[in-house]
A and B are shown apart, each in its own frame.
Chain A
């Protein structure tokens, strides 16, 4: 049983998805989904322990040895991502039933959970698999279910946002497909480890360069790197709150994982960073993303929009860490992946709680909300502080490592820019605090009460995570460090 954990990680939610349709009763389906996600969480913990104890796990699907069969390969990097995805999914699901009763009509609940599980299975699959084509298939599984879930949001804008995301997402995925095809053409293999062995021999051909370029563009579309982020704000804003919380915390992280995996493990550090001006490109785009997206966030009046733009900016930080091209920089990126999942999960879930009571996330409707929903607003404040990077929150830890990594390279101006970027975060976070705490509600607006426990508990679980991992940083730092070092194993 233990030996089959890598495949169980993916197959359990995958098979559970159609089972939802059999159970039918929404509450039961919810409990079933929660159980499945919980099981995935437990499996990911077990996998992480196995990896930390005995190194990389290689699982041969159906007993066919790689490179002919499909291999599932779990090393530190995968294990961390699996843990983040399944943990966030489970916490978000705790709140799901309450939140979607307010936002989705009841006859669609069952379908919603089935799609949710498919999306979860897709993400877990992308991360677990060691086969390039498998990546594409799982990417499309998670994306297709994502489009459908986003379309379930309230109002017609959700449909339009979903359609736009579908077009962009499909283009991105197809680019990745082209890249995989070109790689296969040059090497005759789809197994990532095998590709890593064979690509260097043909590294100087134009075909491989083209494959790399297609891959980078495709994956950057998926990860909403500035300026390819256009689809993200609308998709996040109009999707049901639960979906937003889940995706904001996980989906771009999965794309980032792909970027890291392919540049470091498949194409190899020396190819990715020396043959192409990837470093300069990503550093520039990352910094531009931080500033432009943060500035855009300041002008938003819809809070989901605001935090969606902030997500684009945070991706900028991750990309800057990535572009440093050292083990320290990569570690900062991974740490921020973990921390940002906690931050954005908490913030979007809290917005979901506001949505549940107020049925709006427009800034104007937040007037005086701090008195009516003190715990929810306190959660948003803590999440916001963490986003800014105030000490004793996770945001500070990742910023600390990021600046250290940048300084290690002697990039003082970049360090200054990173810190200046956080100032913009102060502005948009404080805009909310001011409205919620220091402006009285307009006369005539109905009094609302605090969000129900079913929403508060998951929100505060994530907020507690923000504080706990900001104080006791060992777990996050160790995981990120060992993953970064293992990726740099063979290369300088």
Chain B
């Protein structure tokens, strides 16, 4: 039971690690890193559910009768692209934040905002 579903365990552990980093870390870049881990765990989840034991990639050939489901893999290609876009945008924002605030630590930014008003 536990070993058989090892792929889910990996997914859940990665997800929790990523989520924890997003919440607990004050450094903006680390937060983004956490977000990437969080998203990656979902990618792995999609990929693993499409894989059929003992089956091969869905390329038609005479010697194979069992194929993995390619649809989740294709879907997750899209999600990966979205993830990259999110990461890029997040990092770009961090660059601008660093320019504007002179810091990429959450608490310092918050403090500077509070001082203003």
Contact = CB atoms under 8 A, between A and B. Distances in A.
A148 B45 CA distance: 29
A163 B93 contact: yes
Given A144-B89, A148-B89, A167-B31, A160 B109 contact: yes
A151 interface: yes
A260 B48 CA distance: 30
Contacts of B22: 167, 171
A192 interface: no
A157 B78 contact: no
A137 B93 contact: no
Contacts of A157: 113
Nearest to A302: B117
Interface of B is mostly: helix
B97 interface: yes
A432 interface: no
Given A160-B97, A166-B93, A140 B28 contact: no
Interface of B: 19, 22, 28, 31, 35, 38-39, 42, 45-46, 49, 71-72, 75, 78-79, 82, 85-86, 89-90, 93-94, 96-97, 100-101, 109, 113
Kindly list the 8 A-B residue pairs having the minimum CB-CB distance in the complex, ordered from nearest. Answer: A156-B100, A140-B82, A163-B93, A159-B97, A185-B49, A159-B96, A181-B46, A170-B86
Contact of A174 (B31, B38, B72, B93): B38
A462 B94 CA distance: 37
Nearest to B39: A174
Bin chain A's interface residue count.
20 to 34
A171 B93 contact: no
A102 interface: no
B38 A156 contact: no
Contact of B93 (A140, A151, A170, A185): A151
Contacts, number: 67
A136 interface: yes
A178 B86 contact: no
B35 A151 contact: no
Contacts of B79: 136, 177
Given A163-B28, A184-B49, A144 B72 contact: no
B72 to A, nearest CB: 7
Contacts of A185: 49
Contact of A133 (B35, B42, B75, B85): B75
A166 B90 contact: yes
Contact of B113 (A160, A162, A167): A160
B78 A137 contact: yes
B86 A140 contact: yes
Nearest to B98: A159
A144 B39 contact: no
Given A163-B28, A178-B42, A181-B72, A144 B93 contact: no
19 contacts: A137-B82, A144-B82, A144-B86, A147-B93, A151-B96, A156-B97, A157-B113, A159-B93, A162-B93, A163-B28, A166-B86, A166-B93, A167-B31, A167-B35, A171-B38, A174-B38, A177-B79, A184-B71, A185-B49
Interface string A387-429: 0000000000000000000000000000000000000000000
Interface string A136-153: 110010001001100100
Contacts of A177: 42, 79
B74 to A, nearest CB: 10
Nearest to B104: A163
Contacts of A140: 82, 85-86
Interface centre among A140, A148, A171, A174, by most B CB within 10 Å? Answer: A174
